Amino acid sequence: MSPPTSKVAPANAGADRGEEASPPPLLARRSSLSQTLLEELTGVTSHAKFPADGSGDADHHPGTPAKEVQSGTPVTSTGGDDLIRDRRGGRILDPELLAQLKQPRPFSKTADKIAFVCGVLNALLAIALVFGDGCRWFLPYWTTACFVLLVGNRLRTYYPLKYQYFLFDYCYFAFALLLVYYWVLPESEEWSERVFTAAFVSACGPLLTAVALFRNSLVFHSLDKLTSCFLHIVPFLNCFAIRHFDGLKRGDRVVSGSKNHWNLHTPEDTISLGDGVLLGTGFYLCHLVFYLLLINVIYPLPKDPAYLTSYRYLLPRLKKALPLGKGNKGNPEADSWLYPVAYGLWNFLAAVLAFLPAPLLYYSGEAMCLWGTFFITWGIWNGGNYYIEVFGRGHY
C-alpha cells in the first residue's frame, strides 16, 4: 500500500515521501521523486526561492528556535535527536535530508522523459494484451517481468530512504499471489481454484479500490507513481482476462509440446459470497500475521522514526480524525495503544467491504468492466489533476 499525498500532487500503496541523505552517485541518478517529496513534506514548490540568510535551510543546530522553509510552513526542532518535523508536525525529517532535497536534480529531465515513454508504451501494451485475442498468452510474461523490474527499482530507491518496510504491505503480497497462481500451482486444480479466487477478490477489492483511497495518479513521467498504479491496477486486468476471456494458453504459440503454465485451470462460472469473502479475508489475515512477525521478529522495525511504515505515515492523519489521547502512566507521552487497534480494525473492515462486490464481478464481465473503468478513470483524473495543477501553473 502506498500512502496518499496532497490533493495537488496525488500519488500511490504506495508513494512520494521524504528522502534521506545519499551518496553523490545516488543523488545524481535520482528522478522526479525528490522534488515532489520536498513539495509534499515542506510546502516548498519547485519554483520557490530560499532566503539568502539561510532561514529556509533546515541545517540548524538541535534546540535552536523553529525556522521556516517557506512562509506559513513551520519546521520545528525536536531537540537532541537533531531532527525536524514537517509542516503537519507528524513525520520526522533529518536536516541533511531537506538539504539534499533542495539541491538541483541532475539528469532528471532525461530520466523523466524515459519514464514517460516507457509508461505510455506499457499502458498501450497492457490494453493490447488484455483485449487482443492473438497476444493474450503473453500477458503473464509481461506482468511478471514488469513486477520484478518495478519492485526491484522501488527496493533500490526506497532502501537508502529507510522506506523498505513499505514493500511488505498487503498490495505486494496480493500481487505475488497472482504470480503464484501463474507459475507455482499449474497442476493442482483444487489449489489453483482457491488461489485464483483469493487473487481475484483481492485484485477487484482492496487493490483496485486503493486507487481512490490513496489517490493513485497516472503520471507518466514519474516512475514511482507509475509503479503504484501498476501494483493496484494490473492484477485486476489479469483477473479480468483470466475470468472473462480465452487465450491465456501457450501451446504451439510458444514452443510446441512445452509445459503449459496457466491454462490447466478453468475458473468456475460463479463463486459464492461466502467463498469470496472467506478466502479473501483468510489471505488478508495470513498477510497480517506474517507482517507482524516480520517487523517484530524476523526484520525488527527500528525505533528510529525515520523508518516509515504505512502506520507511521498515516498516524498523524489518524490522530487528527480520531483523537484518543496519550499512552499509559509509565510512558505518558507515548501514543495511546488504541491507535494501532483502530488502524488495524479500519483496514480490516475496509478490506472486507471491498471483497463484497467480487461475486458479481466474477459472474458478470460487463459489471467487472464498469467497475474497473470507474477506478482506472479515477487514477487518470488524478494524473490529469497533477499535470494541470502542478505543471500548468506557469501556463495558466
Q: Does the structure show a pLDDT above 80 at 329?
A: no
State the CB neighbour count (10 A cutoff) for residue 26.
Answer: 16
Give the cell for residue 78: 525536536
Count CA atoms closer than 13 A to 229's CA, side-chain side: 28
Q: Does the structure show a pLDDT above 70 at 102?
A: no
All residues at 6 or more sequence positions from 359 whose CB lies less than 8 Å from its CB, including other chains: 270, 271, 272, 273, 276
Is residue 282 within 8 A of residue 357, CB to CB? The reply is no
Weakest mean pLDDT among 50-59, 193-202, 337-346: 50-59
In sequence order, the β-bridge partners of residue 68 are 74
Say which residue the cell 507509475 belongs to. 226
d(CA 308, CA 291): 14
Mean pLDDT over each residue of the chain, to the nearest integer? 73
Q: Does the structure show a pLDDT above 80 at 70?
A: no
The pLDDT tens digits for 185-225 are: 766 677 888 898 999 999 999 999 999 999 999 999 889 99
List of long-range contacts for 56-60, beta carbons under 8 Å, 24+ apart: 57/98, 57/99, 57/102, 58/84, 58/93, 58/95, 58/97, 58/98, 58/99, 59/95, 59/96, 59/98, 59/99, 60/95
Q: Does the structure show a pLDDT above 50 at 347?
A: yes
The pLDDT tens digits for 11-45 are: 344 444 433 333 333 333 344 444 555 554 444 44
d(CA 165, CA 50): 33
Span 333-345, average pLDDT: 77
Count CA atoms closer than 13 A to 150's CA, side-chain side: 25
pLDDT of residue 47: 39
Length of the chain: 396
d(CA 298, CA 315): 24
Weakest mean pLDDT among 54-63, 93-102, 231-240: 54-63
Residue 316, Cβ density class (10 Å: 0-12 exposed, 13-18 middle, ≥19 buried): middle
pLDDT of residue 61: 31
Give the highest mean pLDDT range of 89-98, 173-182, 265-274, 384-393: 173-182
Say which residue the cell 515532489 belongs to. 36
**Which segments of the chain are extended strands (E)?**
67-70, 73-75, 84-85, 92-93
Is residue 396 within 8 A of residue 242, CB to CB? The reply is no
* Secondary structure class of 210 (helix, strand, coil): helix
Count CA atoms closer than 13 A to 48's CA, side-chain side: 21
d(CA 117, CA 128): 17
pLDDT of residue 30: 42
pLDDT of residue 198: 94
pLDDT of residue 64: 31
List the domain boundaries for the chain: 24-102, 108-391
Radius of gyration of the chain (CA): 22
Q: How far is CA 166 from CA 95, 158, 392, in A?
A: 23, 9, 31
The one-character DSSP state at 92 is E
The one-character DSSP state at 91 is S
Is residue 74 within 8 A of residue 99, CB to CB? The reply is no
Q: Is the dihedral of CA 264, 247, 233, 370 positive or negative?
A: negative
